[in-house]
Amino acid sequence: MFVYVAAYGGTVAAENALTGNVSRYDLTALPKVTFTDPAVASVGLTEDQARAQGIEALVSKLPLAHVPRSLAARDTRGFAKLVADAATRKIIGAHILAVEAGEMVTEPALAIKYGLTIEDHTSTFHPYLTLSEGIKLAAQTFDRDVAKLSCCAAWAPTEGS
């Protein structure tokens, strides 16, 4: 990850040197992974960091015991936690403890980079029996108890869709 960040920083520095400081060095959507077992992956703000910045934070925390893939793999250790801005419902942080947490964190990283909302996640199909489904279920957890949903009641449309 140091290599990617250094390459990014070098690119921004070179561009700014040649084009007049128009590019901004922005690490708000930088994912971090600790390769433990289970792994720890994180991107964006924690709820404490959000509140320290004056953001009213919504938090959802989904134990992996609610993710079908984790149940099938008989490894339900961990959770997926999402943090959203209450005013805009945009995702601003994700913190995951899971066997493949590093593979799961890219979706919330994209969400943070491109300003996706809770509803953008819940209205997007996620493949069944994958850990990435845990991100969608975590997004649904903001507004409902996913333990009470059947597998097929997961659809949550965006406004106007």
Partner 1 sequence: MTAENALTGNVRRYELSVLPKVTVTDRTVPSVALTGDLAMPLGLRLAGQVFWRDVSQVTGRVA
Q: How far is the CB of 153 from partner 1 (least distance, A)?
A: 12
Both tokens of 147, joined, read 């333990």
Residues 24-63 that bind partner 1 (CB under 8 A): none
> Cα–Cα–Cα angle for 143, 122, 104, nearest 5°?
105
- DSSP lists the bridge partners of residue 84 as 58, 91
Q: What is the DSSP string of 13-33?
A: HHHHHHHTS------TT--EE
Q: How far is the CB of 129 from partner 1 (least distance, A)?
A: 6
Q: Which is nearer to partner 1, 90 or 102 (CB)?
A: 102
Q: Contact letters (x/-) for partner 1, 78-107, by CB under 8 A?
A: ------------------------x-----
Residues 102-141 that bind partner 1 (CB under 8 A): 102, 124-130
Residue of 38, 11, 161 lying closest to 99 (CA atoms): 38
Both tokens of 42, joined, read 């994180």
Q: Which is nearer to partner 1, 85 or 133 (CB)?
A: 133
User: Which residues here bind partner 1, judged by CB under 8 A?
Assistant: 102, 124-130, 155, 157, 160-161
